[in-house]
Amino acid sequence: MFDFLDSGQYDVLGAFWVTVQLTVYSAIGSLVWGTILAAMRVSPVPLMRAFGTAYVNVVRNTPLTVIILAASLGLFQTLGITLAGGGDFEVIGFRLAVLGLVAYHATFVCEALRSGINTVPVGQAEAARAMGLSFLQVLSLVVLPQAFRSVVAPLANVLIALTKNTTVAAAIGVAEAAALMKTMIEYESDAIFLVSAMFAFGFVVLTLPTGMLLGWVSKRVAVKR
């Protein structure tokens, strides 16, 4: 049934490995950039708040395909920005895809975190301020540690969405799972259902354990109030 896999033409595991790498790098990037955005959105500086709000609303409402294609066709093909990728298309494409994925998913991380910040009683921040802590200290020592613990489950959703959204990188030629699937459908068109089912199963294998693990973690670390 799966005899088309025996030909050795298709490196399915290799393609999924690229998907995993895309996910991991983008997840780390989104978490960092999303936290900074959330800090901006709750900061006392009006300019930063305005930037955070504008960024989140614009990027969140732009389709990911548009962002990724703009990164490749606009930044790279037209402006020649390679993100220190040298001349190797594989590296350049991968880094641009990570850039696009981070830019997009950071907005969802930011909004999840902001909802977490809202669960922390105002009195905590007021007390911290009264002790003479600066805004950054209040945020990093008192508010964010509690906020993160309450938003593990929403962040898990963002991570799962991110895993699946890496398939958009196929549009700019990153050799991940969806790109291989496209090639396989062209050459094994009599086995379309098998090929699709195989890739669908691959993504279930990637996302299901993530969801279960983080669901368990979110129960463990949640702050009981």
Partner 1 sequence: MTLRKAGFAAATALVLSLTATACGGDSGAGDDKINIGIKFDQPGLGLKTQDGEYTGFDVDVATYVAKELGYDEKDIVWKQAPSAERENMIANGDVKFIVATYTINDERKQRVDFAGPYFLAHQDLLVRADDDTVRTEDDLNSSEMKLCSVTGSTSAQNVNKKFAPKANLINYGGYSECLTGLENKAVDALTTDDSILAGYAAQEEHQGKFKLAGLNLSDEPYGIGLKKGDTELRKQINDALKKMVDEGAWEEAAKKHFGPADYEYEPAPEITETN
Task: List interacting residues with partner 1 (CB under 8 A).
Answer: 9, 69, 72-73, 76-78, 80, 87-89, 92-93, 170-173, 175, 179, 182-183, 185-187, 189-190, 192
- Angle at CA of residue 127, ends 122 and 132, nearest 5°: 130
Q: Which is nearer to partner 1, 119 or 183 (CB)?
A: 183
* Count of residues in the chain: 225
**Least distance (Å) between residue 197 CB and partner 1:** 16
Decide if 149 contacts 223 (C-beta within 8 A): yes
As measured in angstroms, the least distance from the Cβ of 166 to partner 1 is 15
CA pair distance 141, 174, nearest whole angstrom: 40
- The nearer residue to partner 1, 69 or 214, going by C-beta atoms, is 69
Q: Nearer to partner 1 by C-beta: 6 or 186? A: 186
Q: Tell me which residue has tokens 């790279």.
A: 76
CA dihedral 66→159→115→152, nearest 10 degrees, is 180
Comparing CB distances to partner 1, the nearer of 72 and 207 is 72
Can you tell me which residue has the tokens 């945020």?
139
Q: Which is nearer to partner 1, 198 or 217 (CB)?
A: 198
Residue 181 CB, nearest distance to partner 1 (Å)? 9
Nearest distance in Å: CB 188, partner 1: 9
Minimal distance, residue 173 CB to partner 1, in Å = 4
Q: Which helix (H) or strand (E) holds 56?
A: helix 46-60
Q: Which three-class secondary structure state does DSSP give residue 29?
A: helix
Can you tell me the distance from the alpha carbon of 170 to that of 184, in angstroms, rounded to the nearest whole number? 13
Contact 172, 69 (CB under 8 A): yes
In this complex, which beta carbon is closest to partner 1, that of residue 46 or of residue 87?
87
- In the complex, the smallest distance separating the C-beta of residue 169 from partner 1, rounded to whole angstroms, is 11
